[in-house]
Amino acid sequence: MKSLAERLCRGDNISDVELISLINGKDEEELIHLSDKVRRSYYGDKVFIRGLIEISSYCKNDCLYCGIRASNKEASRYRLTAEEIIACVKKGAELGFSTFVLQGGEDPYFTDLRICKIVEKIKEAAPDAAVTLSLGEKSRNAYKMYFDAGACRYLLRHETADLEHYRKLHPDSMSLENRKRCLFDLKEIGYQVGSGFMVGSPYQTIENLLEDIKFLKELDPAMIGIGPFVPHKDTPFGEFSQGSVELTVRMIAILRLIFPKALIPATTALGTLSPDGREKGLMAGANVVMPNLSPVMVRKKYNLYDNKLATGAESAEGLRLLEDKIRNAGYVMSMERGDSLAV
């Protein structure tokens, strides 16, 4: 009789009840062992490095969990100029980075035209680098414009695939339907698309996690980013408890087995909640780390949640430190573009 983890690994259909038992920790050791094996068989021991540039902490949205939500009056806001962004890219290129991720709140200052110009300038400064955008919900036309300007990857977590849960985490002005529309538009246009969700967000049930997995199967993304929920004191969810590192790690392992070709980051949130969170993520099948390349002066301001890491191994300056940590976990840091095999 094959174990559950093994059946999942072989691509057998397992029932919801069985999946729930894996999520709850059944066969954990084997699950982690197999996820590492599967990751190695597709991606070897490489951990791809992405330079994260947080371009704006202004946001017109009001997601209840997020520290840069529009109604957080305590947040100190900044936005980078095009010149500052290009300076970050040049610094990153010198350090050897070949993927740049532009992430920001939904800031109307960054019009579609401005975004296109910035993407074009990045491609001039670093022609072989991959430009990843993570700038939220836009029109299909806007996504197409960015793509034509040279962006080739887009990160947009669905956050939760359950309609009721989605409504509890977001204001009425936002909808799961539009989120999904964005993700499918991005895919059709030709982006390598990343989606994902928070683990342990307020009101989340284990059935919600099943919904998340189902939705991801439907989307079949090139990248999957998940991280534990971390409360931010100046949000309505400030008093909720944080997500579990262990559950997040198990979810990474399960996702690795279901999506063997996906790129999966060991996220900053995971590293924030536990000193060896990132390593645990890597050992459970994650194969991407995104150190912070934003100007040091603004890093503290991109405060999505309390105590968010932005220095040490979490920063571009700490690259050697990160390399050591990755090696100690049993892997090799790679500065290659690292395109997803899942496209």
Q: Note the residues at the interface with ligand 5AD (CB under 6 A).
A: 65-66, 157, 159, 198, 227, 229-230, 232, 269, 304-305
- Please, what is the minimum distance in Å from the beta carbon of residue 179 to ligand 5AD? 10
- Please, what is the minimum distance in Å from the beta carbon of residue 48 to ligand 5AD? 18
Nearer to ligand 5AD, 137 or 323 (CB): 137
Nearer to ligand 5AD, 102 or 198 (CB): 198
Nearer to ligand 5AD, 39 or 158 (CB): 158
The residue with its CB nearest to ligand 5AD is 305
Q: Buried (b) or exposed (e) across 109-118, using 16+ Cβ within 10 A?
A: ebebeebbeb
Nearer to ligand 5AD, 19 or 198 (CB): 198
Instruction: Give the count of beta carbons closer than 10 Å to the beta carbon of residue 231.
Output: 18
Nearer to ligand 5AD, 142 or 230 (CB): 230
- Please, what is the minimum distance in Å from the beta carbon of residue 319 to ligand 5AD? 22
- Please, what is the minimum distance in Å from the beta carbon of residue 94 to ligand 5AD? 26
User: How far is the C-alpha of 19 from the C-alpha of 283, rounded, in Å?
Assistant: 20
Find the DSSP H helices in 220-306: 245-258, 268-273, 277-283
DSSP 139-193: -HHHHHHHHHHTEEEEE---B-S-HHHHHHHS-TT--HHHHHHHHHHHHHHTPEE
Nearer to ligand 5AD, 248 or 334 (CB): 248
Spatial contact of 123 and 152, defined as CB atoms under 8 Å apart: no
The CA–CA distances, whole Å, from 127 to 100, 121, 151 equal: 12, 9, 11
User: How far is the C-alpha of 254 from the C-alpha of 261, rounded, in Å?
Assistant: 13
Nearer to ligand 5AD, 31 or 68 (CB): 68
Q: Which residues pair with 47 in a beta bridge?
A: 333
- Please, what is the minimum distance in Å from the beta carbon of residue 82 to ligand 5AD? 22
User: How far is the C-alpha of 315 from the C-alpha of 294, rounded, in Å?
Assistant: 9
Nearest-10 Cα torsion for 107, 113, 116, 122: -80
Nearer to ligand 5AD, 232 or 325 (CB): 232
| Eight-state DSSP code of residue 292 | B
Q: Buried (b) or exposed (e) across 258-281, using 16+ Cβ within 10 A?
A: bbbebbbbbbbbbbbbbeebbbbb
- Please, what is the minimum distance in Å from the beta carbon of residue 232 to ligand 5AD? 5
- Please, what is the minimum distance in Å from the beta carbon of residue 218 to ligand 5AD? 19
- Please, what is the minimum distance in Å from the beta carbon of residue 301 to ligand 5AD? 14
| Eight-state DSSP code of residue 317 | G
